[in-house]
Structure 1
Amino acid sequence: MNLTVLGSAAGGGFPQWNCGCPNCIAVREGRANFEPRTQDSLAVTARDPRDASYVLVNASPDLLEQIKRTRPLWPKAPRHSPIRAIVLTNGDMDHVLGLFSLRESYPLALYATSAVRRGLEENAFLRTLQRFEGQLVLRTLEIGREVEIRDASGETTGVHIRAFAAPGKLPVHLMASGTASDEDNVGLVLHDGTSPKKTAVYLTACADLERRTDLEGHAVLLFDGTFYCEDELRKLELSRSLAKDMAHIPIEGETGSLARLASIPGCRKIYTHINNTNPILSLASEERRTVERAGFEIAFDGMEITL
């Protein structure tokens, strides 16, 4: 199985359009040790990447740019796409807005939990993906049940996924009308069906690590690296919110993800979904060196992971 990190930034990307924090200023000015990043998304294939069908995990607002710079996702005929299905981990705007860029009358399958699906179906914009019967085939992603991802016609992609509940929150646009549930935010276990021990976990929004069992026993763990410290936004006077208020566990500290995940053996650990304020975005920062000394990697746009 091959995983391509299409986007490694949190919502807003890097730089964020309205942010003048030191990191965003540095990347805009093209300073050494800083590279721009697009918003969180992953492309997965269980076949030869040169001639494969792909499953996207999340559809970020930057999806068209991500496709443009990822050659295996280019069309191979006048009307064609290697992208056959999309799996959503939650209903946040930075994970669903890219769907509406895929409106040019091409059949796709969309997998989401019942709660996320309800939020989407309340959105009138979904009609742009329903111009003909079968343009968008909606399939329910059940927590704890492994599924073989299939395209809109029912043909298998070879990618197997199991969703598990992860501590999170309702998307901001649904807070006034929705009811919180375990289906609002999920992590994913991915494999190709032939090597059950070669699994990857993708969990980019996680409020705490009290329930850690789903993260153990895998070859690769792509985990929430949004904030380095709990009060990161407060220190920069950008927001009054703490990391926990936004359903993210920080990297540092005794209860942070670096300390809590370090004890998981035999697993390649990679931080992704990195906020524009996070000091690990600088290749020369002490915070980045701390993460790397602990054996963790930091994802970047275009990163390839092979299992």
Structure 2
Amino acid sequence: MMRLTVLGSAAGGGFPQWNCGCPQCVAVRGNHADFQGRTQDSVAATCDGESYVVLNASPDILEQIKRTRALWPRAPRHSPIRAIVLTNGDMDHVLGLFSLRESYPLALYATETVWRGLESNAFLRTLQRFEGHVVWRRLEIGRDTEIRDAAGESTGVHLRAFAAPGKLPVHLMGHGTPSPEDNVGLVLHDGSAPRRSAVYLTACAHLETLSELEGHSALLFDGTFYREDELVRLGLSHAVAKDMAHLPIQVDDGRGSLARLSSLAGRKIYTHINNTNPILSNSSEERRTVESAGFEIAFDGMDITL
């Protein structure tokens, strides 16, 4: 049996975002009862409660470990975190790697494209202090993979990556060629039969097909924006959701994720939620709309048992 723990449920920047004075960030800083603070997107998966695989290394990973007892060391030099899987090369998914530099072996799973992006950064040297400090294993699209730690021992977690519509990270724009490996979703399971599985897909530009998302016990999906022009309405940016390769929850033509995913069985959970998204308010009309359609809103510390 697999258990997932949401370590962070916010989009890049967290909630509140450090430089944002939008009404929602102001409210959460003021401890308003309608709002709950959130760290940046990350999930921990385990099959035995001993070995953990972290999906995306958030810049907030040290705080996430601090408040998640299951991830605390159990010896003078130890970590239950045996491997990290990256779904893309965005800063809010890789910066946490550089906080895990204290000479402890880790396995890192990423597509070749994402790994090349990391290799181009001199900071990666801090994770190469000794032979086997970080062992990179290629994440191959479409292949079922048993996740193993740096020594080759199984964690019990199995996954299959699938290409998802996205884009190059901002820092690689103009320095790389777009590839299907830039952004992936993950199907996670424990290898047993009958198989109970979950999908983790927190960056998705559109839903041209639902085939990869059907038939699972749980779906953690991109809930970054509620509306296409959310940032524009608040005067925070000229960019809209599609500029950042995110599908909004609600779209007037019925092609938003709420309408497209409503027919799926299993738990449907929005995560990677931007600080401007009104579903962050416990009493908002938008939150009521989402919950009445059978969706849940992820929060830091949320446990999902498959």
Report the TM range for the smaller structure's normalisation. Answer: over 0.9
| Aligned counterpart, 2:23 | 22
Deviating beyond 6 angstroms after TM superposition, the runs of 4 or more aligned structure 1 residues are none
| Aligned counterpart, 2:178 | 180
Query: Counterparts in 2 of 1:215-234, with a 5 A limit?
Result: 215-234=213-232
Q: Give the drift of 1:195.
A: 3.8
- Equivalent-residue separation in structure 2 for 1:194 and 1:212 (angstroms): 24
1:76-110 Cα distance to aligned partner (Å, 9 max, x none):
00000000000000000000000000000000000
Between the two proteins, what is the percent identity of the paired residues? 77
1:201-229 Cα distance to aligned partner (Å, 9 max, x none):
00000000002210001110000000000
- Is 1:57 paired with 2:58? no
Query: Counterparts in 2 of 1:139-288, with a 5 A limit?
Result: 139-253=137-251, 254-264=254-264, 266-288=265-287
Matched residue type, 2:128 = Q
TM-score by length of 1: 0.98
Q: Give the drift of 1:32.
A: 1.2
- Equivalent-residue separation in structure 2 for 1:211 and 1:58 (angstroms): 24
In the alignment, structure 2 segments of 5+ residues that lack a partner are none
- Equivalent-residue separation in structure 2 for 1:59 and 1:218 (angstroms): 24
Query: Counterparts in 2 of 1:91-106, with a 5 A limit?
Result: 91-106=89-104
In the alignment, structure 1 segments of 5+ residues that lack a partner are none
Give the alignment's Cα RMSD to 1 decimal.
Answer: 0.6
Could you tell me whether the CA contact under 8 Å between 1:44 and 1:54 is conserved in 2?
Answer: yes
Could you tell me whether the CA contact under 8 Å between 1:197 and 1:218 is conserved in 2?
Answer: no
- Equivalent-residue separation in structure 2 for 1:196 and 1:64 (angstroms): 36
Could you tell me whether the CA contact under 8 Å between 1:226 and 1:275 is conserved in 2?
Answer: yes
Q: Give the drift of 1:176.
A: 1.6
Q: Give the drift of 1:272.
A: 0.2
Matched residue type, 2:272 = H
SS at match of 2:180: coil
| Aligned counterpart, 1:122 | 120
Could you tell me whether the CA contact under 8 Å between 1:197 and 1:219 is conserved in 2?
Answer: no
- Equivalent-residue separation in structure 1 for 2:213 and 2:173 (angstroms): 28
- Equivalent-residue separation in structure 1 for 2:119 and 2:272 (angstroms): 26
TM-score by length of 2: 0.98
1:115-170 Cα distance to aligned partner (Å, 9 max, x none):
00000011111110110001100000000001000000000000001000000000
SS at match of 1:183: helix
- Equivalent-residue separation in structure 2 for 1:258 and 1:164 (angstroms): 21
- Equivalent-residue separation in structure 2 for 1:32 and 1:104 (angstroms): 38
